[in-house]
């Protein structure tokens, strides 16, 4: 049965990088691709950053691939119409509670990290961040006036057992396909929600995942360890707030925004498949949009994650990842990752090179 993928290129460099992904998916074949508008592009046509029709399509699709949203053209829109609202609605209505952010350092790019090369060479860790709960959504929240004339801002960190268990399951399952190690991160030393987090994950491991090694770490220590010895980690699972910070920290270990993919997953349905959204970590890069300068690899690697996690196509995902590695090894680079002595190539040429490398590896 053909696999339905809704493609939402979005704004800025989104359409340029997504065009390269389309070529690649066409080459692999077996997908039923449809395309829709999101972000500023959707606002310009529909007066909303995500039309109801597009939302309905996203809910029906086997997977959604998104480029990027936003740009100066839409910066002054009211909050509810801003391009980012389109993305937030997708995440919310698809109930995507687990955000997967791999931090993988390609050998050829180890020198691009701000850390010493030997600290990051061969780095391959995965951060699983809880995405729909915690302090960003907890009640009560708000800003209130106090009788003494002061004002008070309130947010509430809150997690329930089921919220913790479902994201922890994602982490344990992923670890089974990797190095079978999960590090759970919270602040159980100062937060009750952290105590609950630690207890529930420990219980779940004892019940269902004794084959996976589980360790615990306080979030502040984890931040330190990520820049001290990042290769000690396999899968990190953490809450929304800590995950927000730690995943950006881990991202920078790899050197360039143009290389970073991500996935957001929802609950399993009766057939064992999940709602899923795949997108590069970078934004719409208005400074280089429309100039054939954007690096399409983050988007290409997001598509590879889609093959791996939504469609169980590990061989094809491995082929894409290896092709990207070959291209980098051959010194073919876009401007963001170019090194001295190399001539940067454009977005389309990078797409050409990845396709050629795939063909070469598959004997085509
Ligand atoms: P950005 O990620 O768009 O760009 C930051 C810098 O990295 C820029 O110099 C850009 O040229 C460069 N860059 C990013 N992706 C690149 C790529 N693939 N190849 C080469 N260079 C790349 O972040 P920003 O400038 O802070 O934000 C620009 C717009 O994107 C804003 O409107 C912001 O709200 C939006 N944004 C959207 C998302 C998303 O769609 N998920 C994420 C972050 C920012």
Q: Virtual CA dihedral for 352, 355, 360, 364, nearest 10 degrees? A: -110
- pLDDT (0 to 100) of residue 213: 98
Rounded Cα distance, 156 and 137, in Å: 8
- pLDDT (0 to 100) of residue 341: 87
Decide if 187 is catalytic. Answer: yes
Sign of CA dihedral 318, 259, 351, 38: positive
What domains are there in the chain, each with its CATH number? Answer: 1-97+264-364 (3.40.718.10), 114-254 (3.40.718.10)
- pLDDT (0 to 100) of residue 1: 65
Q: Phi, psi at residue 92, to the nearest 5°?
A: -75, -50
Nearest by Cα to 286 from 6, 80, 14: 14
CB 92 within 8 A of CB 59: no
- Per the DSSP assignment, residues forming a β-bridge with 183 are 215, 236
Nearest by Cα to 135 from 193, 200, 204: 193
Q: Does 193 contact ligand 1 (Cβ within 6 A)?
A: no
- pLDDT (0 to 100) of residue 254: 85
Q: Which atom of ligand 1 is nearest to the CA of 288?
A: 11
- Per the DSSP assignment, residues forming a β-bridge with 5 are 33, 63
Query: Residue 302: how many CB atoms within 10 A of its CB?
Result: 24
> Edge-to-edge, what's the strand order for the sheet holding 181-186?
31-35, 3-10, 63-68, 274-280, 261-268, 98-104, 124-130, 235-238, 181-186, 213-218
Query: How far is ligand 1, taken at its centre, from the CA of residue 300, in Å?
Result: 16
The residue length of the chain stands at 364
Q: Does 336 contact ligand 1 (Cβ within 6 A)?
A: yes
Rounded Cα distance, 279 and 94, in Å: 15
Rounded Cα distance, 255 and 69, in Å: 22
Nearest by Cα to 261 from 312, 295, 222: 295
Q: Does 282 contact ligand 1 (Cβ within 6 A)?
A: yes
Q: Phi, psi at residue 201, to the nearest 5°?
A: -70, -40
Nearest by Cα to 198 from 224, 217, 181, 175: 217
- Per the DSSP assignment, residues forming a β-bridge with 236 are 127, 183
Q: Which residues contact 126 (CB under 8 A, 6 or more apart)?
A: 100, 101, 102, 103, 174, 178, 234, 235, 236
- pLDDT (0 to 100) of residue 348: 98
Q: Does 287 contact ligand 1 (Cβ within 6 A)?
A: yes
Structure tokens at 128: 């699983």
Looking only at the bridges linking them, the beta strands covering 124-130 and 98-104 are antiparallel
Decide if 118 is catalytic. Answer: no
Q: Which atom of ligand 1 is nearest to the CA of 286?
A: 28
Strand, coil or helix: 47: coil
pTM beyond 0.85: yes
Rounded Cα distance, 58 and 266, in Å: 13
Which candidate in 248, 287, 312, 359 is catalytic? Answer: 248
CB 243 within 8 A of CB 226: no
- For ligand 1, atom 11, the nearest C-alpha belongs to 285
Q: Does 64 contact ligand 1 (Cβ within 6 A)?
A: no
Rounded Cα distance, 295 and 205, in Å: 39
CB 209 within 8 A of CB 165: no
- Per the DSSP assignment, residues forming a β-bridge with 104 are 124
Which candidate in 52, 75, 220, 287 is catalytic? Answer: 220
Q: What is the pLDDT of residues 112-140, one digit of tens each?
A: 888 999 999 999 999 999 999 999 989 99
- pLDDT (0 to 100) of residue 364: 65
Decide if 275 is catalytic. Answer: no
Tracing tokens 């950006």 back to the chain, one arrives at 248
- pLDDT (0 to 100) of residue 271: 84
- pLDDT (0 to 100) of residue 127: 98
In DSSP notation, 251-269 reads: HHHTS-GGG-EEEEEEEE-
> Among 11, 43, 131, 282, which is best to mutate for testing ligand 1, by the most ligand atoms less than 8 A from CB?
282
- For ligand 1, atom 6, the nearest C-alpha belongs to 285
Q: Does 284 contact ligand 1 (Cβ within 6 A)?
A: yes
Q: Which residues of the chain have pLDDT under 70?
A: 1, 364
């Amino acid at each position: 049965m053909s696999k339905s993928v809704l493609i939402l290129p979005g704004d800025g460099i989104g359409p340029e990088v997504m065009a390269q992904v389309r070529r690649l998916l066409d080459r692999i074949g077996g997908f039923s691709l449809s395309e829709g508008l999101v972000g500023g592009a959707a606002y310009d046509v529909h007066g909303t950053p995500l039309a109801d029709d597009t939302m309905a399509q996203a809910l029906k699709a086997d997977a959604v691939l998104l480029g990027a949203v936003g740009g100066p053209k839409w910066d002054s829109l009211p909050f509810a119409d801003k391009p980012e609202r389109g993305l937030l609605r997708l995440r919310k209505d698809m109930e995507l509670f687990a955000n997967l952010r791999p931090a993988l350092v390609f050998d050829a790019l180890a020198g691009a990290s701000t850390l010493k090369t030997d600290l990051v060479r061969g780095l391959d860790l995965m951060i699983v961040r809880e995405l729909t709960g915690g302090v960003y959504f907890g009640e009560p929240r708000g800003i209130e006036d106090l009788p003494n004339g002061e004002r008070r801002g309130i947010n509430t960190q809150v997690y329930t057992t089921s919220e913790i268990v479902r994201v922890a399951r994602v982490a344990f399952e992923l670890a089974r396909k990797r190095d079978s190690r999960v590090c759970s991160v919270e602040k159980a030393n100062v937060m009750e929600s952290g105590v609950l987090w630690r207890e529930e994950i420990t219980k779940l491991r004892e019940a269902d995942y004794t084959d996976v090694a589980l360790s615990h770490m306080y979030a502040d220590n984890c931040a330190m360890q990520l820049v001290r010895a990042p290769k000690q980690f396999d899968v990190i699972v953490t809450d929304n707030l800590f995950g927000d910070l730690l995943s950006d920290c881990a991202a920078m270990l790899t050197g360039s925004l143009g290389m970073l993919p991500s996935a957001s997953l929802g609950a399993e349905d009766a057939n064992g498949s999940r709602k899923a959204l795949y997108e590069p970590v970078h934004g719409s890069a208005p400074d280089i949009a429309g100039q054939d300068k954007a690096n399409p690899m983050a988007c290409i690697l997001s598509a590879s994650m889609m093959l791996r996690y939504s469609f169980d196509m590990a061989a094809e995902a491995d082929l894409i990842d290896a092709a990207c590695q070959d291209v980098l090894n051959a010194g073919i680079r876009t401007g963001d990752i170019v090194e001295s002595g190399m001539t940067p190539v454009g977005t389309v040429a990078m797409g050409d090179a990845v396709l050629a490398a795939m063909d070469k590896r598959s004997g085509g």
